[in-house]
Amino acid sequence: MSYDADLESIAEARQAAQEAFEAWQAFLGTTPDRIDAIVDAMARAVEPEAERLASLAVEETGYGNLVDKKIKNLFNTVSVSKWLRKINALGMLWRDDRTGVAAFGEPMGVVAALIPVTSPTSTIIFKVLSAVKAGNAIVCAPSLRGRRAGIETVAVLAKAAVQAGAPQGLIRCLEHITLQGTAELMSHRHTAVVMATGGPGMVKAAYSSGKPTLAVGAGNVPCYVHRSMRERLDETAAMIVHSKSFDYGTACVAEQAVIADFEIARDLRHALRLEGGYFCTAAEADRLSRVIFQPSGRIDPEYVGQSASTLAKAADFSPPLGTRCLVCEENEIGRKRPLSAEKLNPVLAFYEARDADHGLDLMRRIVEFGGLGHSAVVHTQDSEIAARFAARLPVGRVLVNTPALFGGMGFSTDLDPSFMLGTGTWSGSITSDNVTALHLINIKRVAYQSRPWRDIHEEYGT
């Protein structure tokens, strides 16, 4: 980017933050019912646009596929918006008549929302609906590679919001994208909170902005299959392959490695093959690793979100027609084996575990290698195994007998539906929750005197 482009981006960020703040000032005091109507109007407006926006995202970024990106858009317009209608975010949240304490939700102000290139439309839908539900203004900063898709998605949402009664400028999107402009938005005096979804560099910049920040870390999600699943391996394999291949593996919450008890490993391999999993030879896996990862160990952005056939072609081998996922047998974990790290494409590492203790150890080591605080999956019919793994793994969510992607985002589980999954202090994040509108409010507590204040002297003998 040229010096002039940086200045243009910084000037736009300043103007967007200022105008969003002024719109938020006008929005203050809007009743929760009126806000719900605005959120509903945005969801209704973007739902019929889900396919068009998904197509634009795939065309512009080159990541993922149309069918799955459409589903991601619809999850936010349907499932997230439905959940938002059920919750109270503003006004009185609760009151305890016994103690005389009541809690009230109040908006934070202007939200600076950093948008990942892997989900440039669905993440915007999620963050805009959540921010407005909480009574806030929002300015989105898309990635340069997802700029047009981001601008168009925000345009649909903003138009619907204004037509439903929201102030002009409450929902904005930066059009001139540079790192300097995004940094200016995050640190602007009118920015109240940053919502950052993206790579490690983006998250680090967000936490360095000097503003309260909700940011999520990387996910290196291990999936353990216990021997008690012997009779259910077909369904387990279907879950794993569908979750990992969904949108060509762009979701950080998808499975990254499968760990199978040795008693059922052979049968699980067979089940994975029937679902479209291709087990690479050692030579193929090594070539694939060199395609996916740069010499520095970073993921090559050109091979993020690509189909299994595209990746195989780049690595000079030909899996069978219908292959959905490439599986690589591994024995080690760490920098010397890059395939044991997070892979934002339909590639899985596969390990055999001697027993549950060994499986737990492998799970922990994989999580510690780039996925602290995120998620893990356990497939088991033994509730004690699930409880034991949950207690000992340093992750924010342990998903049992469900696909990692759909369970983590709150579709196939009753976790709060979200496209922003906190990773807790394990990875330097402020929360391990599924982030929602309830993370975008300040909670004011009103408390009446419940005992005579002068009793403090009697209580402590002074």
Chunked mean pLDDT (size 10), the chain, 462 residues = 80 97 97 97 98 98 98 97 97 94 97 96 98 98 96 98 98 95 96 88 83 90 98 98 98 97 98 98 98 94 97 97 98 96 97 98 97 96 97 97 98 97 90 96 95 90 76
Q: How far apart are CA 47 and CA 118, in angstroms?
A: 20
In contact, 303 and 293? CB cutoff 8 Å: no
Give the pLDDT score at 314.
98
Give the pLDDT score at 205.
83
Q: How far apart are CA 44 and CA 60, in angstroms?
A: 25
- CB within 8 Å of 120: residues ≥ 6 apart: 57, 60, 61, 142, 143, 146, 149, 150, 153
Give the pLDDT score at 312.
98
Q: How far apart are CA 193 and CA 178, in angstroms?
A: 20
In contact, 156 and 48? CB cutoff 8 Å: no
Q: For 357-392, give the secondary structure using H, E and C.
A: HHHHHHHHHHHHCCCCEEEEEEECCCHHHHHHHHHH
What letter represents residue 15's amino acid?
Answer: Q
Q: Which of 435, 436, 429, 441 is nearest to 203 (CA)?
A: 429
In contact, 181 and 174? CB cutoff 8 Å: yes
Give the pLDDT score at 362.
98
In contact, 179 and 204? CB cutoff 8 Å: no
Give the pLDDT score at 2.
53
What's the token pair of residue 40?
A: 């509903």
Answer left, alpha or beta for residue 337, where phi above 0 means left and psi between -120 and 50 means alpha: beta
Q: How far apart are CA 211 and CA 121, in angstroms?
A: 25
In contact, 140 and 172? CB cutoff 8 Å: yes
> Where in the sequence numbering do the catalytic residues fall?
252
